[in-house]
Structure 1
Amino acid sequence: MSSVHIIGAGVAGYTLARELVSRNYAGTISISDTQGLPYDRPPLSKALQVEPFAPVSWYRENRINLVQEEITELQVPTAEDDWVVLATGTIPRTLDVPGAEFARSLHTAADAQHLARELEDGMFGQRVLVIGAGLVGAEFASTARMFGAQVTLVSSSNAPLAHVLGEDLAEQLHAEHQSHGVTTITGTVTELGPGYAIVSGERHDADIIVSAIGVEADTALAERSGLDVENGILVDAGQRSTSHRQVLALGDAAREAGRPRAVHWEAAMEDAAIAASTILGTPAPGRSVPWFWSDRHDAHVETVGDFSKVASVVKRYSRRGKIQTVFGLDESGTLVAASMIDGGLMSKAVRKLITRGITPGIEQLEDPQIGPRELGRPAP
């Protein structure tokens, strides 16, 4: 009987199993992961919550072998209908400073549960210092404030996430931390110790220190197995390893040769759908315009498209004079990206416009009275 062995139980690994079940795959499916029951990652930093994708009963009902184990050696299949899938995800970057061990990461269920206990059991107003103001750092800073902590957020830039939000909106969002009681510092951490951090020569005392300075593809198993690795496990358009046709890789650990590595929840799901098609020998679905979201304080932030292609931007302001949406145009003036705060249906509308190659006029993009349904349509 044919088989699929999935190593890694994040969104990519779980989605592949779900896709195979929904498409009536007749072989056996196994999932190996050190953390056991697969769970969603975004709620970890957004709310310090662990949310399983499905109950244990779902795996039993669909005859999926769920094994809590660490795979240290890759057993490469020899039969054409057997597959090994690497969905190993990412590992957090570590600070390269003296005392780095005094900072905790927020990357796993165990990390989230530990931090939740510390915040719940600690004194109201305990001091939390977060190093890194990207997606995870900003979300955790917001969550810690909701627990009643005094939060200091350290960033190397006044506009973290500018590469995915655009410079102006990134700077505005970062500045708004202060209106929610978060102290922001732009500087460099040079030393950590028990209960303190040195930032640009100044000591900051803290009861909890969290490092959120980004992640790297977890390629250790692939490298030990001799697979091609370059900023991710290299794969073709069907998610096959460029080293071995019966080994697939997907999600944050993988990178299609000739393309940048995508580290987004939806991209991982699309990888899984394509991998399922490769396994089943059916036509692969197409990819959609990139999209991701983040929640911080009382704001829902979304980005669609690719800001690396942006040459100029058009900003849309709210009635309060705040940037609400940033539309990104490439060198030819074509709409290629947008970021927004509490945009409602706007993200879906922009994705459709980018997919269809439609670029509304500058006046339409700037006008807050033009809603998502009217955007890109001729004026009456």
Structure 2
Amino acid sequence: TVDNCPLNCLYSGCICLSMEATHTLTVCFTGLLGEENWPEFVGVALVDGFEVVYCDSNTMTAESRQDWMKKHDPAYLNWFTNQCRETQRFFSLIIEQLMQNFNPTKGVHTFQRMLGCEFDDVTDEINGINQFGYDGEDFITFDLKTHTRIPAMQQAVIFKQRWDNDKAASAVIKNYLTQVCPEMLKMFVNYGRSFMLRTALLSVSLLQKSPSSPVTCHATGFSTNRVSMVWRKDGVELHEGVGKGDILPNDDGTFQMSVDLQVSSVRPEDWEGYDCVFQLSDVYKAIVTKLDKAVIRVNKGEIKIISHQQRFIFMLVSFMFAAITACSHNVSDNNPRSPRWGWSLLKNIYCAQK
């Protein structure tokens, strides 16, 4: 589940809304125990996998990450503020009980909830999920068809019995997943669509530090995560000798990405057969840049590219501080269209640094 988790723009205030038929609205809550340097509770709302609203235990007030959110729907900020406060109180009680049931060792422990929906605006199909996780593992999941909980571990059975007996709460969850959430999602996608379509800042360049260095195809200024960038030889995509980077945020709310090509073994007469192809969503014509020494720019720092070290630090800080807001859209055994997330990502990154 970890490999497909997209990187979120936690500090740059960016959003990417897909032009495809399927959209998701996900609310992620995380309680963090045993780490004094981070908020003990964090809540994030994401549209199509990117952050729109944030709250934490330091302020317990929802903060909009998007200007259009403030303009179009301030009521959602009030709703999210109430959800954060109620969920933090709920988490405090649950975590106390979990500590007794698991008898955990000292260190960092997490309890998380993902609540959200997926809507297909072509078929009108709606899927919802209400799932809890503990320490990077599935804990218990709400079955939307039966209105019952499915425990993923023995310690969750007692919670299943207790929560299943609360029929009123189950009805509220069902109404949110099938009615409230899809309507909110449609509204948010409509509000943010114009942001995604902007391309005025888009540029693609070829960069190289020295004649022996890889040639970097660098795209920046795009506002959607529905992009692809590849190196080709004679029209065929290359995999060997190619280093593909992540999609990362710029300071202005747009994105950048880079793909390196090792050219040390490429003969000069063969250069003309190579090109870099950048495709923005499915509605724009691909930008094709030929491998040509005449257009390669020597990058002496004028162009800001996030280094591998900076990329790692960004990922570490982002996932720790936002407490696994990276929600993925992976395949579930029971529901092939069910949105899921990688519970273990925060735990794995944190433990790797201990």
For the aligned pair, the TM-score class normalised by the smaller chain equals under 0.3
How high is the TM-score relative to the length of structure 1?
A: 0.26
Which structure is higher in RCO with an 8 Å CA cutoff and minimum separation 6?
2
How high is the TM-score relative to the length of structure 2?
A: 0.28
